[in-house]
Amino acid sequence: MDAEQIQFTVGTQQAGSRLDRFVADCIPDLSRSYAQQLIADNHIRVNGRDARPSLVLQPGDSVTVVRPLPQPTDLLAEDLPLAVVYEDADVVVIDKPAGLVVHPAPGHSSGTLVNALLGRYPDMAISGDIRPGIVHRLDRDTSGLIVIARNDRAKDDLQEQQRQRTMRKAYLALIEGRFKEPEGLIDAPIARLPSDRKRMGVVHGGREARTHWRVLEELGAFQLIEARLETGRTHQIRVHLAFKSRPVVGDPLYGPKKARATFGLARQFLHAYQLGLRLPSGGWRDFESPLPEDLRVALEKARRLAL
């Protein structure tokens, strides 16, 4: 196994620290969770002995870390175009086009966002593997902003922001039907449907799911709305809006069999247009993505129909 060995001596100011926290603090790009994994695999020893993550260190303790070098995976690195909105040593924000699958899966082993990320950032390593840190997803035919972690510590930071629900993710959706109120909250649990494993639905006992919405524009029998995620379940916005009989225009999975209009769209009118997060390196950043051409044209058609 290819590995690097790093040795530390615990100083008086570091005494009293847990072993896992000490290692994560000493190696900037190594997260506490990965340190715990290395300890469990006996790759971290204290004074030549195996130890537990909770071991409290004493002054003068010798901590040896045998860190496996990132190993290649069977994922193919590809030179594919990416619309990079922001990048630093920790994260990259991408404006994903419709039609691009985020992660390889059966039927999509190449040509995905992950393949493109591996091609652009060959040094990206998460938990000992050369692979990008996908912390949230967009459906294949949903366009817009997505953030990816470039190292373990950044992934842990972004996942914690999602657990604390401090990351802002807002979408534009053109819906069929009209809400009577100017804004509201859909609070309904979501799970995979037992009768159709390809579809999600509002199911008693499913996972908590909360979607905030507000009307941005009245368009006759349609509305342009902003949907803001409080939770991040699979197909959440599409499922919640269909549950309220306000399906996303052009949605092939949750839309009506006989839609009033699709305005020439070949996919659902759903775009992740705003993303706000605290950078792992510090400071809050807001990002915004304009409507792509196909959605812009469809919206203009809806406006003309509403006149």
CATH number at residue 177: 3.30.2350.10
Average pLDDT of the segment spanning 277-293: 97
Contacts made by residues 105-114, CB under 8 angstroms, sequence distance 24+ = 109/76, 110/76, 110/78, 111/78, 111/80, 113/82, 113/146, 114/75
Q: Which residues are catalytic?
A: 139
Q: What is the pLDDT of residues 3-34, one digit of tens each?
A: 678 888 998 888 999 999 898 888 766 778 77
Pick the residue with more confidence: 86 or 1? 86
What pLDDT is stored for residue 70 in this prediction? 59
Q: Which domain holds residue 24?
A: 3-68
Say yes or no to pLDDT of 241 above 90.
Answer: yes
Q: Is 292 exposed, middle or buried (0-12, 13-18, 19+ CB in 10 A)?
A: middle
Q: Of 141, 163, 185, which closes a domain? A: 163
Q: Same structural domain for residues 292 and 173?
A: yes
Q: Same structural domain for residues 120 and 197?
A: no
Q: What is the pLDDT of residues 248-266, one digit of tens each?
A: 999 999 999 888 899 999 9
Q: Same structural domain for residues 188 and 218?
A: yes
Q: Same structural domain for residues 130 and 229?
A: no
Q: Is the backbone of residue 50 left (phi > 0), alpha (psi -120 to 50) or beta?
A: beta
Q: Of 163, 183, 201, which closes a domain? A: 163
pTM, to two decimals: 0.78
> What is the identity of the amino acid at 178?
R
Cα–Cα dist 47/134, whole Å: 37
Q: Same structural domain for residues 301 and 173?
A: yes
Cα–Cα dist 192/198, whole Å: 7
Close Cβ partners of 292 (under 8 Å, ≥ 6 residues apart): 97, 98, 143, 271
> What is the identity of the amino acid at 102?
V
Cα–Cα dist 251/132, whole Å: 29
Average pLDDT of the segment spanning 266-280: 97
Residue 270 lies in a domain: yes
Q: Same structural domain for residues 44 and 154?
A: no
Number of domains in the chain: 3
Q: Same structural domain for residues 185 and 240?
A: yes
Say yes or no to pLDDT of 80 above 60.
Answer: yes
Q: Same structural domain for residues 63 and 44?
A: yes
Q: What is the pLDDT of residues 165-199, one digit of tens each?
A: 999 999 999 999 999 999 999 999 998 888 887 78
SS (H, E, C) the chain: CCEEEEEEECCCCCCCCEHHHHHHHHCCCCCHHHHHHHHHCCCEEECCEECCCCCECCCCCEEEEEEECCECCCCCCCCCCCCEEEECCCEEEEEECCCCCCCCECCECCCCHHHHHHHHCCCCCECCECCCEECCCCCCCCEEEEEEECCHHHHHHHHHHHHCCCCEEEEEEEEECCCCCCEEEEECCEEEECCEEEEEEECCCCECCEEEEEEEEEECCEEEEEEEECCCCCCHHHHHHHHCCCCECCCCCCCCCCCCCCCCCCCCCEEEEEEEEECCCCCEEEEECCCCHHHHHHHHHHHHHHC
Q: Same structural domain for residues 201 and 109?
A: no
Residue 78 lies in a domain: no
What pLDDT is stored for residue 128 in this prediction? 59
What pLDDT is stored for residue 124 in this prediction? 80
Residue 76 lies in a domain: no
Residue 216 lies in a domain: yes
211 pLDDT band, cuts 50/70/90, is very high
Q: Same structural domain for residues 107 and 143?
A: yes
Q: Same structural domain for residues 126 and 228?
A: no
Half-sphere exposure of 154 (CA within 13 A, CB side): 25
Q: Same structural domain for residues 259 and 203?
A: yes
Task: Supply the CATH number for residue 51's domain.
Answer: 3.10.290.10
Residue 79 lies in a domain: no
Q: What is the pLDDT of residues 109-126, one digit of tens each?
A: 788 898 899 899 987 866
Average pLDDT of the segment spanning 138-150: 95
Residue 7 lies in a domain: yes
Residue 191 lies in a domain: yes
**How many CB atoms within 10 Å of residue 97?**
15
Q: Of 68, 97, 117, which closes a domain? A: 68
Close Cβ partners of 254 (under 8 Å, ≥ 6 residues apart): 199, 235, 238, 239, 241, 242, 247, 248
131 pLDDT band, cuts 50/70/90, is low
Residue 44 lies in a domain: yes
